[in-house]
Amino acid sequence: MRVRIAAFLALLICTTTQSYLSAQPSDSISVRQVVPLAISAGGSYSYVFRPEYARNMNLHFPNAESFSVNLYFRPNRAALVDSLFGNPYFGIGFNKPYFHQSDFLGNPYSIYLSYGLTILEPSKALSLGFEIKLGGAFRWKSYDKNDNPANRLLGGRNNYHAAADLYLKYALGKRIQARFGVTFTHNSNGGYRLPNTGLNTLGGYGDLLYNFSEDKTSFSKGTKQNYRMVPHFEYDLNVMYGSRQIRGQPENTKSTGIIDHSFKTTNVNAFLMFVGLPYVRAGVGLSLIYDESTGIVVEQLIDKESAQVSYEYEPSKISKRFSPGFLGKLEISMGYISGFADVGYIFSRTEGFYSTMCANIGAKTYVYKGFNASFGVQMVPSRKANCTFISLGYSFNHHSVIRR
């Protein structure tokens, strides 16, 4: 899991940095492309959501505190993308939460990448902003049915850390600013190792920022108002890859158990997208999913000496592992990064022919021209099996505001 998280962070750093660099004009290569923006330090106080299993086991989760530090960066020049999307910035940070349940949760910490932008700026001193964070959460005490059965939240020692902040920022001086807002945090391993209920918190936070420069990146309002995107169609093609564990159910039983195997899944998606504004892309498309877990036959085994229960499986025919699908797609651009959701139905041939809902939700960045990379979660509710994915793709006829 640690290798998967490290590989994901390396990919995200490379792709996002390339998006920033390619936003620079050809005559500015000798100039520093990305410069430090600010450093911040602060804390949060949050409510910890209590899952159903914890109520059944009479487990209590007190409110949690956390401490974090962040280093932020920005491009060293104004561009059209800054005007359209509220001077976006990115950074790297460290978070240390205190859950007061170290006996079964461990003593975790998180390292993450962040991306933010300004939503509204009513005055020079006050602004409303939004920031997302995505990275790795390490040193959890993972679930073990014998040694740590209370932690059904997280099946792995290393997990993903995802957070979203909505904040007000107020200038206390030329270089000092204060932020106060609401933060939501989710920790899980994306189904890589079960159980994976996930740990969610919601609360308030505050921090102080020190800006390295008194200059504020801006772009003339005239440029933003005069810019008009010509409505057009774009064509997306991407390949997604993920893996997960699942809970198997033997035939003629109601019991389920964790199968000790990482099932691979691969998607090939093609979309026709309409683009009329720089902020939104919407369209429809086709998908072909290969899922190793489709149609497996599960067998429950009981060791006569130890009475330990385990589960084995028999894979289905390769032809039955493929599921075609029809999806609708909505992509919201936030400048250098976009958020997207693909929702629709896939059709399986395991036992007759039936359809089931499927959704892919994630974040995407354009690496160079139409080439893009994304990371997210695939959900198939009827199979009760979610998994994280990494995707590479290309958008034909892509019109980018980043390189204007």
> What are the structural domains, with CATH classification, of the chain?
2-222 (2.40.160.20), 228-396 (2.40.160.20)
User: Using 50, 70 and 90 to split pLDDT, how confident is the model at 215?
Assistant: low
pLDDT digits (tens, 9 = 90+) for 187-214: 998 888 888 888 999 999 999 999 998 6
Q: What angle do CA 304, 306, 309 make, to 5 degrees?
A: 80
Return the beta strands (E) in 106-213 as ranges: 106-120, 126-140, 159-171, 176-188, 199-211
Per DSSP, the residues of 91-134 read: EEEEEEEE-S-HHHHEEEEEEEEEEEEEEE-SSSSEEEEEEEEE
User: Using 50, 70 and 90 to split pLDDT, how confident is the model at 108?
Assistant: very high
What is the rounded CA–CA span in Å between residue 158 and residue 108? 9
**pLDDT (0 to 100) of residue 9:** 53
What is the rounded CA–CA span in Å between residue 370 and residue 234? 10
Average pLDDT of every residue of the chain: 85
Is residue 383's pLDDT more than 60? Answer: yes
Is residue 281's pLDDT more than 80? Answer: yes
Contact predicate 192/245, CB 8 Å: yes
Burial 281-309 (b: 16+ CB within 10 A, else e): bebebebebebbbbbbebebeeeeeeeee
**pLDDT (0 to 100) of residue 65:** 97
